[in-house]
């Protein structure tokens, strides 16, 4: 019996060590990404480097001047009588931000909240307390290394889908203009 008790204790310690190691790696990754984003913002060619994210199952690019913090998905207060794409309100250091599932807003399936899901908060320069739910953050992308594409029919109706690019692997990225999405009347009308 003492052997099984020690095995259980050992398993518990191993699991705790793995969890701590994963959290440490995640913090290091986020710190490196924030440092790279700040360096890119300071660079005169900040438009070249953009933040790559997955929204739903599609890759998007966000201008570093418009994207603020990257947050883990935490508790959100549901707001009654709102569209299903409006996920609710989140408290970010004492400030309430609205959280939107942009994939659902565009008529796709709801974005599942998983371990890699994040909220990209709009930059303070936009003066709009909002964040977008993304499936995952893909890091910085250099659009100077991509080919400009014609905007496909699905995204051409959305004025905030500024441009599309194809990377070396022919993966098509859609550039989101957050300063235009905050002016869209449908996006602003969260109530039913």
Task: Tell me the pLDDT band of 44, cut-offs 50, 70 and 90.
Answer: very low
- Phi, psi for residue 45 in degrees, rounded to 5: -100, 40
> pLDDT at residue 173 above 70?
yes
DSSP tag of 109:
P
Assign a CATH topology to domain 48-188: OB fold (Dihydrolipoamide Acetyltransferase, E2P) (2.40.50)
* Residue of higher predicted confidence among 8 and 110: 110
Q: Does residue 2 carry a pLDDT above 60?
A: no
What pLDDT is attached to residue 46?
A: 46
Q: Tell me, what's the pLDDT at 45?
A: 47
CB 72 within 8 A of CB 125: no
* pTM score over 0.75: no
What pLDDT score was predicted for residue 91? 92
- With tokens 């660079």, the residue in question is 43
Arithmetic mean of pLDDT, 62-74: 92
Report CA torsion sign: 84, 89, 90, 96.
positive
Cα-flanking dihedrals φ and ψ of residue 73, to 5°?
Answer: -80, 120
- To the nearest whole number, what is the mean pLDDT of the chain? 84
Q: What is the pLDDT of residue 146?
A: 93
C-alpha 51/C-alpha 58 separation (Å) is 14
Instruction: Please report the pLDDT score of residue 55 as a whole number.
Output: 93
67-168-49 Cα angle (round to 5): 25
Instruction: Say which range, 47-61, 87-101, 124-138, 143-157, has the weakest mean pLDDT.
Output: 143-157
User: Average pLDDT in the 177-192 region?
Assistant: 92
* Strand positions, DSSP E, 18-94: 49-55, 58-63, 67-72, 86-92
Q: What's residue 150's pLDDT? A: 80
What percent of the chain has a predicted confidence (pLDDT) above 90? 58
Helix (H) or strand (E) holding 136: strand 136-142
Tell me the domain boundaries of the chain.
Answer: 1-42, 48-188
């Amino acid at each position: 019996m003492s052997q099984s008790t020690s095995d259980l204790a050992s398993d518990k310690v191993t699991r705790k060590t793995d969890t701590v190691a994963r959290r440490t790696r995640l913090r290091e990754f986020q710190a490196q990404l924030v440092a790279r984003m700040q360096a890119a913002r300071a660079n005169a060619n900040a438009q070249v480097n953009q933040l790559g994210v997955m929204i739903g199952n599609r890759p998007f690019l966000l201008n570093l001047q418009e994207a603020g913090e990257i947050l883990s998905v935490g508790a959100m207060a549901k707001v009654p009588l709102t569209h299903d794409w409006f996920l609710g309100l989140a408290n970010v250091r004492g400030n309430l931000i609205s959280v939107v599932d942009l994939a659902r807003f565009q008529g796709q399936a709801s974005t599942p909240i998983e371990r890699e899901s994040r909220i990209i908060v709009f930059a303070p320069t936009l003066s709009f307390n909002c964040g977008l739910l993304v499936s995952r953050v893909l890091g910085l992308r250099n659009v100077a290394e991509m080919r400009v594409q014609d905007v496909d029919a699905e995204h051409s109706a959305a004025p905030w889908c500024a441009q599309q690019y194809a990377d070396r692997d022919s993966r098509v990225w859609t550039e989101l203009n957050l300063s235009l999405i905050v002016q869209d009347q449908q996006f602003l009308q969260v109530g039913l």
